[in-house]
Amino acid sequence: MPMQMICPYCGNYIITVTSPVPGLLTWLLCTGLFVFGCFLGCCFLPFCMNSLMDVSHSCPVCQRELLHHRRL
């Protein structure tokens, strides 16, 4: 969920922009699926699901990353 805050870099009162970023959980699930027999591209399924990815919060004004929420 986007957050309201004051950007520590540009000083504006903003609502953060969120974007999904592959993290440790995504890579572990991909590796696990590959090891258990999903060779034909099914192992990349975790990269298509936003609920399994980390979330990066950034400022819409200065484009700097403010927070990084990790699933693991």
% helix, strand, coil for the chain, step of 5 = 30, 30, 40
- Domain limits of the chain? 4-69
Supply the pTM of this predicted model.
0.85
Give the per-residue pLDDT at 37.
84
Averaged pLDDT score across all residues of the chain:
94
- The DSSP letter of residue 50 is G
**pLDDT band at 38; cut points 50, 70, 90:** confident
Give the per-residue pLDDT at 63.
96
Q: Which tokens hold the place of 49?
A: 């699901």
Q: Which tokens hold the place of 8?
A: 């520590």
